[in-house]
Chains A and B, each alone.
Chain A
């Protein structure tokens, strides 16, 4: 099975722009979660989607949004980018048929906001 795939691998944007990141989960996984990783704050939970529905949401402003499609692929969008949004954005998927909580991470999208 292919692992969790995230695209693009790197992104450079300027303040005020918006960005869309993509995540393809492991085949058969229906839960997709997003995390923001920064050197100072570690891994922070953004949101989780299951069967196209947002099941959990972290403490991030409304500029951060996401969605999940019927094939379980997920996207997250950040609007009106700020310098502090520079981070590694990690997507993780899990298998509801097996051990639901085991998260498998993608390699992430490194976002730099200039």
Chain B
């Protein structure tokens, strides 16, 4: 069935360093890959997304890359700041409609 694997489960970086979170998906028909950020006690919020016809997308300090052949996509955060500390979820559209399959999440901690 559809599956999205996410690594690492926890990530600790120093302020100003870069953070990379990786995900792989199993459904070759998946064509949309969003990333959500969830701060403690808050709702998941969409931070960036990419479609299968694009290899890379950037928005200020955040970028996402997609390798369709290998079925993996990654989130890159540069110049990390304490407010980047949160749980990050990758996801992929699987099946028809708007069914998102989520990865298990990465707890990112940016230390001063």
Interface string of A92-108 (1 = CB under 8 A from B): 00100000111111111
| Beta-carbon contact of A103 and B98 below 8 Å | yes
Residue of B36, B91, B98 touching A56 (CB-CB under 8 A): B98
| Residues A76-100 near B (CB distance < 8 A) | 90, 94, 100
B77: interface (CB < 8 Å)? no
- Count of chain B residues with Cβ under 8 Å from any Cβ of A? 23
Residues of A within 8 A of B (CB-CB), count: 23
Which residue of the partner chain A has the closest CB to B104? A42
| A48 interfacial by beta-carbon distance below 8 Å | yes
Chain B residue with the shortest CB-CB distance to A91: B43
- Across the A-B interface, how many residue pairs have beta carbons closer than 8 Å? 63
Q: Is the CB of A103 within 8 A of B43?
A: no
Instruction: List residues of A whose CB falls within 8 A of some B CB.
Output: 31, 33, 35, 42-45, 48, 50, 55-56, 58, 90, 94, 100-108
Check B101 against A101 for contact (C-beta < 8 Å): no
A-B contact pairs, 7 of them (CB 8 A): A31-B97, A42-B103, A43-B91, A45-B100, A45-B101, A48-B98, A106-B43
